[in-house]
Structure 1
Amino acid sequence: MFGSLTKLQRYYLYYTASFLLFIGALAVLEQHGMPPRWIGYAFLFFTISMYAVIGIMSRTSDVSEYYVAGRSVPAFFNGMATGADWMSAASFIGLAGTLYLSGHQGLAYVIGWTGGFVLVALLLAPYLRRFGEYTIPDFLGARYGGNAIRLVAVAAAILASFVYVVAQIYGVGVITSRFVSLQFEIGVFVGLAGILVCSFLGGMRAVTWTQVAQYVILIIAYITPVAILSYNVTGNPVPQLVYGKVLQEVGRLEERLFDTPAEIEVRKLYRERADLYAQKIMQLPHSLSHEREQLSQRINEMKNSDTQMKDIVALEKQRRDMPHDPEQAKARWESAMFSAVDRSKPPIHHAEAFPGDDAEQQLIQRINFLALIFCLTVGTAALPHVLTRYYTTPTVSQARDSVFWSLLFILLLYITAPAYAVFAKYEVLSHLVEIPIAKLPGWVAAWAKVGLVSIEDINGDGILQIAELSMNPDVIVLATPEIAGMPYVVSGLVAAGGLAAALSTADGLLLTITTALSHDVYYRIVRPDASTQLRLVISKSLLLVVAVLAATVAAQKPGTILSMVAWAFSIAGSAFFPALVLGIFWNRATRAGALSGMLVGSLLSIYYILRVEFDSIPWLGISGFNMVPWFHVHSTSAGLFGVLAGFLTIVVVSLFTKPDPQATSFLQGIRCSSDREGRA
């Protein structure tokens, strides 16, 4: 199917043209009365069918093809595949939403993620490609020797990739539940089928060529709505050039809306609600029994009066839904209290660099901004599913070139995300805030059913204030076409793009997990004499098991997409970056040092995430687990401590242990060879 570069270009040009024609046909059908749900189904069926066709045509039983696409992927197309592999649901769905909610602070993601590829190009990609083999644990096992470090690397790769893939499948559930009206949990497993149809049949070969196709869809889907919106608002269809003017208008709207009497009243009411919940928590268990008694008394009074039955039924449901014990009440009321506290705070001005009421709060914002950039930069340079892509190029020089193409293709999305956030906020502030709640557009109710938008008229004036509107950051990109009143075909296109982003990354992550288990554990340690056929059977069987497990976890909605992804970056950076960099550039790094550093770094990051983010771990019977963050650093930047501890541990332990005499010859081989081939 895939011959010369000219053929590849021609194939994907035909593919892009057919996709554009498909969009045009749906737009015409919508004008002639095609229902929105059928448009959603059409996008879902068309895109997954195309991925399935590519996956089936790329099926393989060759180990090299399955694990590293036969090392035959040209740099340009490897850059596209890496872009799709990289631009996950976090980038496509979560990034603009985070910029929408946090303004300047969200730029840490853009800087960190793009900066990481500079480290990949300079420090890692050429040396990993020259080494060859299939996986990052392969490299660490060869550099340091022994199965112990291979097993630690496998465990870290699986954990980081699993957290990351859960975020992708969660994004699939959000998209399918909204645009094809499936229940969230069912949508998760529908998306899972789309993931498996590619990675199961052809491994890295099928995933690579599918990801190129997915990149085409996701970049068209991301740019189209914001270009239309830019043209409608400013008359210029290039949003990156004009969103600065719109940002000024957003600033004027914020000045007018943030301090109106109604807005101040709403924030005060939320502050009072938060105080009430705090008081109830302090008075547990008495407050729980007292509230239950009051509800029972009200129900009895209503039954003895002329109250309508529906009001009585509503109160009885409220009583049934009450917490069953003080621990459950504490967890539920704390969640409600924190939500009320967030709504009581003055909104962040979009262009404000480091918001805060005093110098201390602004310092905390700066610390977290820089810490997040550091973690995302290092995490990018250490993610196994990204680094493995540089094993697939024919030469070391093409590995370097593919990093350039990767960054260029990723840049197209990242320079658009800030514009997306600004235009979306302009639409919300100018066309949604201060309108009667009874006249809210239909998209608000539609996304409320999914659980990503909520409206509460807390002051009872029938008018929507900013604090009364709660929007999950994961909804901004997906809802922007509806917010701006565009044809539904644009919403379907965006959903198809989000699905492509989530599926492409999930494919790469699942392949990383199963390759680590089947190749690095089963083949390298358990059964080195296993046949090629048996290795692939083991890999595909594990793929099914891991995929179903990840979908099951995603169905529980464990957190926002971006927070889960940031945790994965911290874990990967802490486990791999110090061991890889010192392993390549410091001959004195020893097996004991690397093993200790990987364990200390990754375990410290995991410990910090759990202690800061979670108050309890029910399945372990742990409660009251939460701790105050160190130096005010959020859990999303846990890698700051893990990476530094990893570097320090490797250096100290290596200096106190005997050096490996084979390390020098191993490193000279990959350095000199990669330098010669790079110059050639």
Structure 2
Amino acid sequence: MDQQFIVSMAFILASFALYIGIAIYNTAKSTSDFYVSGRGVSPVWNGMAIGADWMSAASFIGMAGTIMLLGYDGLAYIMGWTGGYLMLTFLLAPQLRKYGRYTVPEFLGDRYRSDKARLIGAIATIIICFTYSIGQLSGSGVVIGRLLEVDAKVGTLIGVVLIAFYATMGGMKGITWTQVAQYIVLITAYLVPVIFMSLQITGNPIPWLSYGHIVSEFKELDEALGVSQYFAPFTNGTKAQFLALMFTLMAGTAGLPHVIVRFYTVPTMKAARWSGAWALLFIALLYLSAPAYAAFSRFILMTQVAGQQMANLPAWTGSWIETGKLQIADANGDGILQWAELVIANDIVVMATPEIANLGMFVIGLVAAGAMAAALSTAGGLMITISSALAHDIYYRTINPKANEKKRLLVGRWSILIATVIAGLVALNPPGVITQIVAWAFALAAGSFFPALMLGVWWKRSNAQGVIAGMVIGLAVTLAYIFAAKYGGFTVAGIIDTGAGLFGAAAGFLANILVSLATPAPSIESQEEVLDLRYPEQMTYKDGEVWMDEGSEAKIG
């Protein structure tokens, strides 16, 4: 048993013990604790938890690798995800918090006075979160598989056991404080290597300022190795695909149910806005670092690995080949590893770079712990959201409205356990790389929830028939395009499966608007309720006027 294994295991086990301890200490004792953490989380802590929930395995493990392999085209992920978060923070999160429900399907059901809308919303939530969770569990398998030097499938099963335990125990209350701890672990684990690489390669410890120098050298390196230029736009897809992917991620972010529900855990509408502001700050630390991470990793691979004798490759290559995520073949038989003969999955770039750059066993162990924190934090939030849809929206609000607190908690915990196991089994043989699977989840959210929520908050004429038609048609169009593009080779203007949300959202908006206009308008009470959402929490819209809520009947304006 080598020292690296012992150090990495120590980091992993210490972080696992921390998460489990937090979950036990914060065991949910009521449905309010289980679903919205008692609505008592402060904006700063909630922003940190949102950051952990948001910075999933796709962000931590996959994003830098995607940018490294795709170059300019990979920037669509950063711009789409960041833009979507701004949209969510300003256009939806405060208004949904003011409405005061537990889940997104519950908002839809009550806003549109429709049990059918709530049920369809719950089904859409399960589909979106289940798809997303496959990517997260697959990511945990990559990390644990490398650590134990076993197949990634075994690592996935270990991750399933851990998530099932702490998510089932603590509910949203436990998940919130677990995610705060996970954010601290993951952001430390992400920043330490990129700072050390910057210092090692450029002599400057500030990677955000130094990596531009490395990028300027890529043109000559690319020409020498005969590969496409790193910053040449649209070399891995069309301009339409770039824009469609960016829109899909942006709209999907604003419609992701497991992210939206985090804004329900704060006490007020104002706190929801501040949660979004803090979250953007915490998320920026990773998103601004990802391009630097990608540039340094690519530079090291080009200058220190490509061109080496096959017999003298560094030891780390053997370890990663065993995980199935790295392939090396001397295709031309010259005994030298060419750049084209190195096939590295984007899912392992962040994990492998500390070894590639020889940063030492402590940094490697820290990155392993950070990657696990990223995968587990998001997976835990997804499982809570699936549980909410099953236990609250379907079981309590539809099947058994008279269920007591104890039974509702029991159903919620069993829902998490079953959902985690099923998602874990699918993740044993994932249908794509982490960022691709996650993009599908965003596309599904863009096609179903984004039109429903935007029109539900900002268009008072939208009615139950419209939102049902919009969600069903938007979801169907998105799913159809994903399957047709991935398995049938069908594309429109070069837009592949990861850009499917563009078509789903367009169909969802169009169906919602046309059906709403063709059917009776909602009641006056319902329309005033929608208008009321747009005003600060201490103001109420009624009888065509805006009034202060705090004891006075003073009319505004």
Shared fold, TM over 0.5: yes
* Cα RMSD, aligned residues only: 1.6
Provide the rounded CA distance (Å) in 1 between the counterparts of 2:125 and 2:297.
36
Letter in 1 for 2:64: A
After the TM superposition, which parts of structure 1 deviate over 6 Å for at least 4 consecutive aligned residues? 677-680
Q: Flag the structure with larger Rg.
A: 1
Match of 2:304 among 431, 439, 447: 431
Q: In structure 2, what is the equivalent of residue 630 of structure 1? A: 492
1:239 and 2:207 are equivalent in the alignment: yes
**One-letter code aligned to 1:157:** T
Structure 2 residue 337 is the aligned partner of structure 1 residue 464:
yes
Q: What's the offset of the Cα at 1:675?
A: 7.0
Distance of 1:471 and 1:557 partners within structure 2: 17
Are 1:652 and 2:525 an aligned pair? no
Equivalent residue, structure 1, for 2:405: 532
Look up the equivalent residue of 2:223 and give its one-letter code. Answer: E
Distance across 2 between alignment mates of 1:152 and 1:554 = 25
Which of the numbers 112, 117, 123 marks the counterpart of 1:144?
112
CA distance in 2, matches of 1:187, 1:648: 44
Q: Any idea what SS the aligned residue of 1:470 has?
A: strand
Q: Distance in 2 between matches of 1:237 and 1:482?
A: 19
Q: TM-score normalised to the size of structure 2?
A: 0.95
Question: Superposed, which structure 2 residues align to 1:95-244 within 5 Å?
Answer: 95-244=63-212
1:506-537 CA distances to partner (integer Å, 9 max, x unpaired)? 00000000110000000001000000000000
Q: SS state of the match for residue 537, structure 2?
A: helix
Aligned match for 2:231, one of 351, 364, 372: 351
Q: Does 1:84 align with 2:52?
A: yes
Match for residue 8 of structure 1?
Answer: none
Residue equivalent to 2:527: 664
Q: Which amino acid aligns with 1:643?
A: A
C-alpha displacement of 1:553: 0.5
The 3-state SS of whatever aligns with 1:671 is coil
| Deviation of 1:673 (Å) | 4.7
Which shifted more, 152-161 or 38-47? Answer: 38-47
Measure the CA separation in 2 of the matches of 1:645 and 1:48: 43
Residues 587, 667 of structure 1: 8 Å contact kept? yes
1:550 maps to what in 2? 423
Contact 1:163 1:567 in 2 (8 A): yes
What is the CA–CA distance in structure 2 between the aligned matches of 1:587 and 1:467, rounded to whole Å? 56
Q: Are 2:6 and 1:38 equivalent residues in the alignment?
A: yes
Amino acid at match of 1:200: T
Q: Deviations over 1:402-459 (max 9, x none)?
A: 0001111001000000000000011011101111101000111111110111111111
Q: Which of 269, 281, 286 is residue 413 of structure 1 equivalent to? A: 286
Match of 2:220 among 241, 252, 275: 252
Give the Cα–Cα distance (whole angstroms) in 1 for the partners of residues 63 and 86 of structure 2.
Answer: 20
Q: Distance in 2 between matches of 1:562 and 1:412?
A: 19
| Residue 194 of structure 1: how far off its partner (Å) | 2.1
| SS of equivalent to 2:300 | helix
Residue 26 (structure 1) aligns with: none
CA distance in 2, matches of 1:183, 1:402: 39
Aligned pairs (5 A) from 1:529-608: 529-608=402-481
Query: Quick one: structure 1 residues 530 and 679, their matched pair in 2 at CA, closer, same or farther if it must change by over 3 Å?
Result: closer
| Gaps in structure 1 of 5+ consecutive residues | 1-32, 259-346, 357-363, 615-625
Query: 1: distance between equivalents of 2:421 and 2:234?
Result: 42
Residues 150, 322 of structure 2: 8 Å contact kept: no
CA distance in 2, matches of 1:197, 1:216: 21
Residue 669 (structure 1) shift: 3.2
Alignment partners' CA distance in 1, 2:280 and 2:16: 26
Structure 1 residues 679 and 415 mapped into 2: Cα distance closer, same or farther (>3 Å)? farther
Cα distance between partner residues in 2 of 1:634 and 1:226? 32
Q: Matched residues in 2 for 1:206 and 1:533: separation?
A: 18
TM-score, scaled to structure 1: 0.78
Contact 1:597 1:649 in 2 (8 A): yes
How far 1:250 sits from its partner (Å)?
Answer: 2.5
Q: Which amino acid aligns with 1:670?
A: L
Which whole-Å deviations, capped at 9, do the CAs of 1:26-74 have from their partners, x for residues lacking one?
Answer: xxxxxxx962111121112111000011000000221111110000000
Identity among equivalent positions (%) equals 43
Amino acid at match of 1:387: I
Aligned-partner SS, 1:454: strand
Residue 641 (structure 1) aligns with:
503
Aligned counterparts of 2:332 and 2:455: Cα–Cα separation in 1 = 59
Instruction: Return the letter of the residue paired with 1:352.
Output: A
The aligned length equals: 542
SS of the aligned residue for 1:115 comes to helix
CA distance in structure 2 between the aligned counterparts of 1:634 and 1:524, rounded to whole angstroms? 38
Stretch moving more, 71-80 or 365-374: 365-374
Distance 1:88 1:582 in 2: 28
Query: Distance between the aligned counterparts of 2:23 and 2:532, measured in 1?
Result: 36
How far is the alpha carbon of 1:573 from its aligned partner?
1.2
Q: Residues 73 and 235 of structure 2 are in contact (CA less than 8 Å); yes or no, is this contact kept in structure 1?
A: no
Which residue identity lines up with residue 531 of structure 2 in the other structure?
Q
Amino acid at match of 1:80: M
Amino acid at match of 2:61: I
**Residue type of the partner of 1:108?**
A
Per-residue Cα deviation, 1:543-571 (whole angstroms, up to 9, x for no partner)? 11111101100011321000000000000
CA distance in structure 2 between the partners assigned to 1:442 and 1:402 by the alignment: 44
